[in-house]
Amino acid sequence: MSDRPAYDFERRVGALRDRLSHADLAALIVSHPPNIRYLTGFAGSAGLVLLTGDAVHLVSDRRYATEMEAIAAQGGFASLHVHVAAHAVADTIVPLVPEGDVGIEAEHLSLAAFRRFEAACRAAGRSGELIPAAGLVEAGRVIKDAAEIAVLREAGARLSAVLQGVMADIAAGLRETEVAVTLESGMRRVGFMRPAFDTIVASGPAAALPHARAGSRPLAAGDLVVLDFGGVYNGYCVDLTRTVSIGAPDSACLDLYDAVSEAQAAALSAVRPGVATAAVDAAARSVLERRGYGDAFVHSTGHGLGLEVHEAPRIGRLRPAPPPARAAMSEPETLAAGMVITIEPGAYLPGRGGVRIEDDVLVTGSGHDLLTTVRRDLVEC
Amino acid sequence: MSDRPAYDFERRVGALRDRLSHADLAALIVSHPPNIRYLTGFAGSAGLVLLTGDAVHLVSDRRYATEMEAIAAQGGFASLHVHVAAHAVADTIVPLVPEGDVGIEAEHLSLAAFRRFEAACRAAGRSGELIPAAGLVEAGRVIKDAAEIAVLREAGARLSAVLQGVMADIAAGLRETEVAVTLESGMRRVGFMRPAFDTIVASGPAAALPHARAGSRPLAAGDLVVLDFGGVYNGYCVDLTRTVSIGAPDSACLDLYDAVSEAQAAALSAVRPGVATAAVDAAARSVLERRGYGDAFVHSTGHGLGLEVHEAPRIGRLRPAPPPARAAMSEPETLAAGMVITIEPGAYLPGRGGVRIEDDVLVTGSGHDLLTTVRRDLVEC
């Protein structure tokens, strides 16, 4: 329930305090569970953190009392205070909120919860305002530290081993769900706590649906089968896709596969610090356009990985920047060392089939390291 | 991806329109995915519904184009219009919003998304206001119709069979995660799409943590082991807990188990239409208080089940009612026929162990039906 010992929470909190002071905020109320985990190690599903200039208050309810005591007892994080709320967690936070303007996580707090906070602050006679903030904790999370990279590297290796094993057993006649069971129990056996998202085993026409899951259809000769699965390992998410052929692929399938494979290679070779995320996307997209599959590539090239399976940076087309706001930090648009991302172009032909090839990549000081290492040619099962 | 054929979406939408007119709303923007699924059958992860007096607009992005075309093609739902958004889903909705006040789901829309909507409506020159609404769709979801009950009944029977099979194989020396793998692959094999939440296999001292998950600890003689798992079957969630003993339990374990068992029986026998949810909770709580475990029961007695694994009604102590608001419907505080709930009292002794026993129950016209049917005495493994 707690992963405190491995991480330097003081450093994370210190860097966040610097961002708060730039935004002229006296404190930040953190409600997004991955952000709470990043700042304190607390992995429960219900809780809040109030970060002030000199303290980190973690509040949760009685169900998590034992976990919170363990976090407090581990020490080594002098400014952390834990509170077991008798009633609503928010009510415990309000009396601890310092004077001055306080940020809230506008992307992660519901309008209703925000209004309840506002009313409670007003009732408590607070003078400062609640300021919609965004991306302040995420700005730290986007660059992984050595301890996080070690976890993600290990997770990528384990996920690769699971897929390598399962690919050897895929054959015509197996149902999509049977393959999904094998992937999921394989993940459990090598130490993943849970799938990071609904496992996709999409065969034949279903391979053309980027978000198909796994159904009862038996795999049949001539199918392309998209296997897209991921797991959560010590809190961190990895994500891997291969597309296999049941029996010999026809020339249309071969061409589709070859185009996606070329697109993925082009995007991978663009990954290094200082490169625009949009340039990595364009590297994949231009290959698919040239090969006649531009309209068949209906999603972005990739996304960041970490405590969430989709996090910053997005590897896609440049979007119009949001209007600047006092306490809102935008997602980075340039790669930097320590980012961990997926590279996963795909092409989908409705009614016929599809291909997606995905790997996880660490941006290093000089280029990139692949975290997943399954063979990337078209495997015939 | 779509479950439209089985359900009467016209009836659901009609009932929701009545609630909108009571709140004097011209339309409702629905952003909570389970609510979108309830109203349209669309099961994608990204989308919005705009429900007006004469139309239901479903908007999602290109990744879901094929699924949306299938929903539209199935017909039988005259007022449904689907839109594949080229850019932001919200931008496609705004031009369709009618004049007058329009509700938004305040509990499910982030403050930031709300403000973006507001700005887009202002830019489009809309005169009406966005009104924070709550519980309008959920008020329909809380009473399951015959098609939903059939799915939940089947899901409960399948989940029970999985546990019955796994319990026979539990033995000292197995690791918690190994038991979790068996439960999860068993669910997959009988047709569940995914676990409804992180599977809990909590042995020995970890059984005292209500939200422990499954770790690497091997089960050992004298342990109580809490097995709490659930699955999503055709979109609907069921949830089941048993606590078993590894070898013969000592007298302290026996007494704890017997007390929780008596509390569960008391709560179950209170379940019938017209009874206050708080009275069902009190039935369990008073047994545990009398037996000296009042402080050890740190959560509510149960919760509703349906498209979400935690939904209305909450079976717990009465909470202070929120202030009345124009478009906010509170959760029901009285049981009614068609509700499906869990009954799951527990008692937790930090450092020593814990017991929880949980079944899923349908409230019928005259009493209740158990949807889960695993033996409820203390099994020695």
Mutation target to probe the A interface, by most A beta carbons within 10 A, among B66, B166, B182 is B66
| Residue B98 touches chain A, beta carbons under 8 Å | no
Token code pair at residue B377? 């005495």
B91/chain A closest Cα distance in angstroms: 13
| Residue A109 touches chain B, beta carbons under 8 Å | yes
A352/chain B closest Cα distance in angstroms: 12
In this model, does residue A77 exceed pLDDT 80?
A: no
- pLDDT attached to residue A26: 96
Helices (H), chain B: 9-22, 33-40, 65-73, 89-93, 111-123, 138-141, 146-167, 176-189, 251-270, 277-290
| Residue B110 touches chain A, beta carbons under 8 Å | yes
* CA-closest candidate to residue A198, choices A212, A182, A187: A212
The answer to whether the CB atoms of A213 and B198 lie below 8 A apart is no
First to last CA, chain A: 40
In this model, does residue B364 exceed pLDDT 80?
A: yes
**Alpha carbon distance A351, A222 (integer Å):** 14
Q: Which residue of B has its CA nearest to A114?
A: B111
Higher-pLDDT residue of A88, B118: B118
Question: What residues of chain A lie within 8 A of the CB of B208, using their CB?
Answer: 66
The phi, psi pair for A217, rounded to 5°, reads -65, 130
Residues 28-87 of B with CB under 8 A from A: 44-45, 62-67
Instruction: Give residue-wise pLDDT tens across range B233-243.
Output: 999 999 999 99
Instruction: Give residue-wise pLDDT tens across range B311-358.
Output: 999 999 998 877 778 899 989 999 999 999 999 999 999 989 999 999
In this model, does residue B64 exceed pLDDT 50?
A: yes
3-state SS, residue B367: coil
Q: What is the mean pLDDT of chain B?
A: 93
Question: What residues of chain A lie within 8 A of the CB of B193, using their CB?
Answer: 198, 213-214
- pLDDT attached to residue A15: 96
pLDDT-derived band at A16 (thresholds 50, 70, 90) equals very high
User: Out of A110, A209, A214, whose CB is closest to B106?
Assistant: A110
Neighbouring C-beta atoms of residue A355, cutoff 10 Å = 31
In this model, does residue B232 exceed pLDDT 50?
A: yes
**Domain covering A142-370: architecture:** Alpha-Beta Complex (3.90)
**Alpha carbon distance B213, B221 (integer Å):** 20
- pLDDT attached to residue B70: 84
Higher-pLDDT residue of B98, A63: B98
pLDDT-derived band at A70 (thresholds 50, 70, 90) equals confident
Instruction: Give residue-wise pLDDT tens across range B285-307.
Output: 999 999 999 999 999 999 999 99
The answer to whether the CB atoms of A109 and B107 lie below 8 A apart is no
**Domain covering B143-370: architecture:** Alpha-Beta Complex (3.90)
The answer to whether the CB atoms of A185 and B189 lie below 8 A apart is no
Q: Which ipTM was obtained for this model?
A: 0.90
User: Which CATH superfamily does the domain covering B4-140 fall into?
Assistant: Creatinase/prolidase N-terminal domain (3.40.350.10)
**Alpha carbon distance B336, B42 (integer Å):** 27
| Residue B196 touches chain A, beta carbons under 8 Å | no
Domain positions in chain B: 4-140, 143-370
The C-alpha angle with vertex A205 and arms to A202 and A207, in degrees rounded to 5, equals: 35
- pLDDT attached to residue A1: 40
- pLDDT attached to residue A111: 96
| Residue A317 touches chain B, beta carbons under 8 Å | no
> Running DSSP on this structure, what letter comes out for residue B8?
-
Mutation target to probe the A interface, by most A beta carbons within 10 A, among B87, B110, B192 is B110
Instruction: Give residue-wise pLDDT tens across range B68-90.
Output: 888 888 755 778 999 999 878 88
Neighbouring C-beta atoms of residue A146, cutoff 10 Å = 10
Higher-pLDDT residue of A301, A327: A301
- pLDDT attached to residue B20: 96
Helices (H) and strands (E) in chain B, counts: 10, 17
Residues 333-352 of B with CB under 8 A from A: 350
Mean pLDDT (whole number) for A247-264 = 97
* CA-closest candidate to residue B172, choices B140, B207, B220: B220
pTM of the shown model: 0.91
Higher-pLDDT residue of B126, B151: B151
- pLDDT attached to residue A45: 83
- pLDDT attached to residue A126: 87
Question: What residues of chain B lie within 8 A of the CB of A211, using their CB?
Answer: 1, 44-45, 63-64, 67
In this model, does residue B225 exceed pLDDT 90?
A: yes
Amino acid at A63: R
The answer to whether the CB atoms of B181 and A188 lie below 8 A apart is yes
pLDDT-derived band at B368 (thresholds 50, 70, 90) equals very high
pLDDT-derived band at B3 (thresholds 50, 70, 90) equals very low
The answer to whether the CB atoms of B184 and A185 lie below 8 A apart is yes
Mean pLDDT (whole number) for A358-375 = 97
